[in-house]
């Protein structure tokens, strides 16, 4: 199934929508006490998802095009990001791929949605880059899981743009701040349940900046696949339901290009993963 968060009537509250083709239906209208958010749906486990699946045709359909989206996940308990998980990307940045994954945390203020505008002061950075990433959403608590069992703990998948201020990234020892400006983590617009993605390592991933394709790769090029990442992360921490894991970006980042391509004032960047969706961000640089 495919879900999204949509805002209605100019209110700041987002409502969960089940998406079928070009139409959406509000989940909280399907039956009494139906969940209003993805987090609520995940918390209800398989039984609640099955009930939503069985009731999905009962709501009043509306065209999903033109909707005002909220982030695909609203309140994840943590956003874990994996760096240097594609050899081409680590090579182009001149950074060594370690024997274990490079993991850092993205701050919740960085979350934003499809077709929203992300802005930042020119005084902070003029070297802001894009990174298309496959997002993984945990469905059941994962602790000390084996790689062969790890995908059983995945609820679904989404699209992430891990926007990065490269000058700050290379001037500080940690990467959270350079990737956690307000609006630097667009997520969505859709979340696809895991049963719709039989092999997360067989997905086309891409980026278009101002009409030009700048990333074009496969998730099969990950150094460590989704199952390996979930298993590794679960060794040190319990991955709670709703946790978002951003699994790294392929080659083609703007920093490494000649000439370099950074996000400019009024740039539009769209990142996508085939079978899951595409995610567009508009950029403004503040003087």
Name the residue ranges covered by the structural domains of the chain: 2-70, 79-286
Residue 43 · residue 241 · CB < 8 Å: yes
| pLDDT at residue number 91 | 61
User: Which of 23, 17, 20, 22 has the alpha carbon at shortest distance from 35?
Assistant: 17
3 state DSSP class of 6 = strand
User: pLDDT at residue 96 above 80?
Assistant: no
Percent of the chain residues topping a pLDDT of 70: 96
pLDDT at position 36 is 97
Cα angle 251, 252, 253 (rounded to 5 degrees) comes to 100
d(CA 18, CA 59): 10
Residue 219 in 3-state DSSP? helix
Superfamily for domain range 79-286: Fumarylacetoacetase-like, C-terminal domain (3.90.850.10)
Two structure tokens written together for 95 = 């950074």
What is the percentage of the chain residues whose pLDDT exceeds 90? Answer: 87
pLDDT tens digits, one per residue of 36-91: 999 999 999 999 999 999 999 898 999 999 899 999 999 999 999 999 898 865 56
Residue at token pair 């680590």 = 90
User: Would the pLDDT of 278 be above 70?
Assistant: yes
147: buried, middle or exposed (CB in 10 Å: 19+, 13-18, 0-12)?
A: middle
Distance CA(101)–CA(232), nearest Å, equals 8
Interval 127-185: pLDDT, tens: 999 999 999 999 999 999 999 999 999 999 999 999 999 999 999 989 999 999 999 99
The pLDDT score that the predictor gives to residue 220 is 96
Q: What is residue 175's predicted lDDT score, i.e. its pLDDT?
A: 92
**Considering the entire predicted model, what is its pTM?**
0.95
* DSSP annotation of 95: -
- The arithmetic mean of pLDDT across residues 258-283, rounded, is 97
Structure confidence at residue 101 (pLDDT): 85
Q: Which residue(s) pair with 272 in the sheet?
A: 206, 278
């Amino acid at each position: 199934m495919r879900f999204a968060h949509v805002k209605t009537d100019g209110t700041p509250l987002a409502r969960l929508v089940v998406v079928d083709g070009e139409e959406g239906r509000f989940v909280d209208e399907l039956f009494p006490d139906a969940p209003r958010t993805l987090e609520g749906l995940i918390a209800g486990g398989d039984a609640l998802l099955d009930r939503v699946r069985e009731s999905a045709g009962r709501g009043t359909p509306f065209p999903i095009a033109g909707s005002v989206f909220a982030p695909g996940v609203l309140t994840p308990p943590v956003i874990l990001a994996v760096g240097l998980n594609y050899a081409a990307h680590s090579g182009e940045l001149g950074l060594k791929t370690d024997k274990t994954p490079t993991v850092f945390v993205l701050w919740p203020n960085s979350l934003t949605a499809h077709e929203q505008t992300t802005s930042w002061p020119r005084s902070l950075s003029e070297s802001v880059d894009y990174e298309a990433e496959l997002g993984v959403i945990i469905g059941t608590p994962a602790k000390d899981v084996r790689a062969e069992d790890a995908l059983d703990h995945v609820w679904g998948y989404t699209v992430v743009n891990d926007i990065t201020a490269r000058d700050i990234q290379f001037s500080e020892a940690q990467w959270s701040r350079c990737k956690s400006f307000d609006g630097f983590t667009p997520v969505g617009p859709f979340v696809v349940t895991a049963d719709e993605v039989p092999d997360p390592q067989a997905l086309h991933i891409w980026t278009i900046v101002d009409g030009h394709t700048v990333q074009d790769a496969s998730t099969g090029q990950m150094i460590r696949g989704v199952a390996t990442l979930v298993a590794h992360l679960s060794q040190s921490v319990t991955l709670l339901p709703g946790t978002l894991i951003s699994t790294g970006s392929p080659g083609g980042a703007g920093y490494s290009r000649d000439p370099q391509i950074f996000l400019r004032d009024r740039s539009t960047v769209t990142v996508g993963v085939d079978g899951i969706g595409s995610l567009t961000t508009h950029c403004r640089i503040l003087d």
